[in-house]
């Protein structure tokens, strides 16, 4: 199971070569040549998950919990202050929990002190660690995040005035969470705005959005318009006009992003899959805890033959079955995303054979998840069979 979490984004990795092409298809050539820094934004950054972790911590729980912070960790790396001069930035989060407490140690390659501090704050805030019981063996886990400039969301300043303003907008989006309050379970629509920057005027920023046609979409554009008009402007010329496009993803979406072009829908699905894989890892760890607790009470009964332990055994076995059922449910949810991804990629292959390798990897992901689901269902039946004869 933990091997599966390690390859949760295998299809996304295989598609890195196609991501720029996908984004190019959604942005006119004129805009690409003149304006940069209009990278997609994951709205899940504004909606960090409540991480009340099952206790005690074990490797599955820790891996899943840290991986679930990916939207926030990757957002740290959008800002050029967080990255060194290389295109690839690697962040390693090593988590250790002992009877004295828990820590997250952050290391990396091409990671600046600002980037390290940002990631440290994310994992310390989102994944709180409780001490193990006295005498328990320490638990360790490791999670790796990789940011590739040009494939991952990236801001680079100093290209031109329009790109610099777009970069300022992109970095500011993580502070505009009130604008995204209505999008708790779906990705916001793609938005297009005309930007007019003027030097030395009372209103140096004028923003006009194309209408969206939905109440929540038009509310979002009104909010973003007000935010953008407060940003600083640095112009070498008297004025500048250019289009700004907002592409949105949502790692925690439960509704399909049918309005996204299939090229972008692929990346939306991959982000969702990462969160579903994290859920599965946590559920796997929770079931392991329940099994250990049940095994302990069974061993005690077998040693003492104390019939008074019967109720406790029944209660602990029900917890075990419940945990196993939840584990099965998380894998089923992951399979739904895998199958949607495969269908989406098959749609893309029909138009562009360059996606064929991604189709192969997507099919492998479906097969792997089916294998995990079969194993989890077998484990559930074995847990039920091992329990006292009670219906659950």
Mean pLDDT, to the nearest integer, of 303-322? Answer: 93
Mean pLDDT, to the nearest integer, of 334-352? Answer: 97
Does 202 or 99 have the greater pLDDT score?
99
Tens digits of per-residue pLDDT, 203-245? 899 999 999 999 999 999 999 999 999 999 999 999 999 999 9
Mean pLDDT, to the nearest integer, of 353-382? Answer: 97
Report pLDDT for 15. Answer: 44
Q: How far apart are CA 107 and CA 286, in angstroms?
A: 28
Q: How far apart are CA 325 and CA 279, in angstroms?
A: 13
Tens digits of per-residue pLDDT, 181-195? 999 999 999 999 999
Q: How many CB atoms lie under 10 A from the CB of residue 102?
A: 19
Report pLDDT for 258. Answer: 87
Tens digits of per-residue pLDDT, 2-34? 544 443 443 344 344 344 444 444 444 444 446
Report pLDDT for 390. Answer: 54
Task: Tell me the percentage of the chain whose pLDDT exceeds 70.
Answer: 91
Residue 303, burial from CB neighbour count under 10 angstroms (0-12, 13-18, 19+)? exposed
Report pLDDT for 119. Answer: 98
Q: How far apart are CA 41 and CA 25, in angstroms?
A: 18
Report pLDDT for 22. Answer: 44
Enter the DSSP assignment of 106.
E
Report pLDDT for 173. Answer: 98
Residue 48, burial from CB neighbour count under 10 angstroms (0-12, 13-18, 19+)? middle
Report pLDDT for 388. Answer: 86
Q: How far apart are CA 58 and CA 167, in angstroms?
A: 40
Task: Tell me the percentage of the chain whose pLDDT exceeds 90.
Answer: 83
How many Cα atoms occupy the beta-carbon half-sphere of 138 within 13 Å?
11
Tens digits of per-residue pLDDT, 74-113? 999 999 999 999 999 999 999 999 999 999 999 999 999 9
Report pLDDT for 6. Answer: 44
Mean pLDDT, to the nearest integer, of 172-187? Answer: 96
Tens digits of per-residue pLDDT, 241-294? 999 999 999 999 999 888 899 999 999 999 999 999 999 999 999 999 999 999
- The chain-wide mean pLDDT, for the chain, equals 91
Report pLDDT for 20. Answer: 44
How many Å separate Cα 229 from the centre of its chain? 30
């Amino acid at each position: 199971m933990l091997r599966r979490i390690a390859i949760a984004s295998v299809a996304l990795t295989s598609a890195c070569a196609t991501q720029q092409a996908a984004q190019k298809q959604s942005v006119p050539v004129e805009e690409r040549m003149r304006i940069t820094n209009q990278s997609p934004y994951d709205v899940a950054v504004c909606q960090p998950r409540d991480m009340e972790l099952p206790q005690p911590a074990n490797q599955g729980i820790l891996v899943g919990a840290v991986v679930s912070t990916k939207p926030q960790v990757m957002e740290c790396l959008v800002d050029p202050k967080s990255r060194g001069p290389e295109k690839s930035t690697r962040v390693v989060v090593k988590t250790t929990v002992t009877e004295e407490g828990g820590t997250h140690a952050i290391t990396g390659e091409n990671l600046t002190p600002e980037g390290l501090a940002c990631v440290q704050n994310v994992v310390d805030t989102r994944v709180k660690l409780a001490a193990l019981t006295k005498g328990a063996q320490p638990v360790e886990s490791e999670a790796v995040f990789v940011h590739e400039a040009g494939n991952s969301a990236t801001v680079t300043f100093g290209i031109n005035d329009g790109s610099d303003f777009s970069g300022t907008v992109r970095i500011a989006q993580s502070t505009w969470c009130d604008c995204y309050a209505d999008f708790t379970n779906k990705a916001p629509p793609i938005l297009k705005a005309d930007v007019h920057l003027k030097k030395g005027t009372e209103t140096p920023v004028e923003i006009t959005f194309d209408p969206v046609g939905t109440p929540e979409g038009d509310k979002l554009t009104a909010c973003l318009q007000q935010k953008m008009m407060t940003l600083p402007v640095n112009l070498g010329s008297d004025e500048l006009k250019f289009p700004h496009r907002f592409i949105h993803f949502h790692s925690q979406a439960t509704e399909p992003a049918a309005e996204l072009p299939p090229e972008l829908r692929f990346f939306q699905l991959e982000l969702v899959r990462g969160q579903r894989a994290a859920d599965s890892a946590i559920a796997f760890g929770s079931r392991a805890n329940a099994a250990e607790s049940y095994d302990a009470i069974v061993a005690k009964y077998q040693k003492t033959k104390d019939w008074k332990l019967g109720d406790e055994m029944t209660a602990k076995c029900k917890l075990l079955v419940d945990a196993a059922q939840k584990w099965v449910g998380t894998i089923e949810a992951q399979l739904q995303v895998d199958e949607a991804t495969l269908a989406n990629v098959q749609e893309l292959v029909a138009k562009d054979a360059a996606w064929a390798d991604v189709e192969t990897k997507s099919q492998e992901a479906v097969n792997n998840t089916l294998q995990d689901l079969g194993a989890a269902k077998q484990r559930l039946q074995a847990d039920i069979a091992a329990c006292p004869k009670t219906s659950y």
